[in-house]
A and B are shown apart, each in its own frame.
Chain A
Amino acid sequence: MLRDALRFAAGFAAGILLWWYGTPLYGRAIAATIRPFTHGQVAAVARQIEVGGASLPPTRIPFDQLTYNVVLFLALLATVRGRSAGRFAAAVAVLVASHIVFTAVDIVATYANQLGQWSNEHFNGLEQDFWMALDFSYRLGGMFAIAFACWFVVARPKI
């Protein structure tokens, strides 16, 4: 138990470092993935993603706030012994895919709710509520549930 706790703490610290120093590079990779779907109107700048161009008003989203579930994932992963490479790769793929999807969701939620008149002209009330709820659920607990589920796939704990 103590050894697991120490491994968990070490993984947590590694996760914080990876999140802090890796976010700018990771943000560029995620922005490049999303860019084709936004007609080239997405770019990563430091810890944020800038969106805007010919057809979209400029805005920024705090990309680093969408990815810090990697801290919990690495902390949990550090406690797993005898990892299967296949399950590990699948878990990482799901985690990265969730970052891509929820970065896109956060961009749409920002346009739907935070640009005043522009938002009201382009999204109806139901759409605004939907995108806000999806974004809110991810940020509030969903991102950690995804990290937990990814760890669960790798660790296969006894139930």
Chain B
Amino acid sequence: MRRVRFLAIFIGSLVVLETLLLVEPIDAHMIRPFSAGVAAVAGAVLGLLGEHVRTTGTMISGGCLAIDIHNGCNGVEVMLFVAAAILAFPASWRQRSIAAIAGAVLLQVANLIRVVSLYLIGCHRPAWFDTFHLAVWQSAMFALAVGYFLVWSRQARPVHAA
């Protein structure tokens, strides 16, 4: 019964959270500025690695490639996935809040590596770009999210109603 409840809350929360991503004011005032922040940080890291890039809003442009950071590349969807799983797990609110924040930080660091590596792959191994962009990195991000949730949920103390 607890497993069914977990799955129901997880899927329901994820549907609600993903639907919010489609709401235009949320996209305009939260998601796009956040994506621009991701682009700015990734552009700065690429600069440190010796790449000559320029960031304009959500775009990272260089001599060999231009990439646009939006939903699917900004790490928000995978953060929502972890948030929905944590929300569905019967731990205390304090445990869940800390886990959600720590998970968001971890996933954004991984996403930064994804964006930087995709730019480098696009420049230096363009034939590999689509496969890495879609299957490899997207699967790896969700694998990390699931791994993080499973490790956390094994250590969290479930709170069950009497």
Give chain A's interface residues, CB within 8 Å of chain B. Answer: 1, 5, 8, 12, 15-16, 19-20, 64-65, 68-69, 71-72, 75-76, 133, 136-137, 139-142, 144-145, 147-149, 152, 156-157, 159
Q: Say yes or no: B139 contacts A159, CB within 8 Å.
A: no
Q: Say yes or no: B158 contacts A157, CB within 8 Å.
A: no
Give chain B's interface residues, CB within 8 Å of chain A. Answer: 2-3, 5-7, 10-11, 14-15, 18-19, 21-22, 71-72, 77-78, 80-81, 84-85, 89-90, 131, 134-136, 138-140, 142-143, 145-147, 150-151, 153, 158
Q: Tell me which of B7, B22, B131 contacts A152 (CB under 8 A).
A: B7
A142-B134 contact given A8-B147, A76-B146, CB 8 Å threshold: no
A141-B18 contact given A8-B147, A71-B139, A157-B150, CB 8 Å threshold: yes
Determine how close the nearest CB of chain A comes to the CB of B156; give it in whole angstroms: 10
In the bound complex, what is the Cα–Cα distance between A79 and B18 (angstroms)?
28
SS of B interface (majority): helix
A-B contact pairs, 19 of them (CB 8 A): A12-B143, A16-B139, A20-B131, A65-B134, A68-B134, A71-B139, A136-B71, A137-B18, A140-B18, A140-B21, A141-B14, A144-B81, A145-B11, A148-B85, A148-B142, A148-B146, A149-B7, A156-B3, A159-B2
Which A residues are in CB contact (< 8 Å) with B10?
Answer: 145, 149
Q: Say yes or no: B134 contacts A145, CB within 8 Å.
A: no
Q: Tell me which of B6, B143, B158 contacts A8 (CB under 8 A).
A: B143
Q: Say yes or no: B134 contacts A159, CB within 8 Å.
A: no
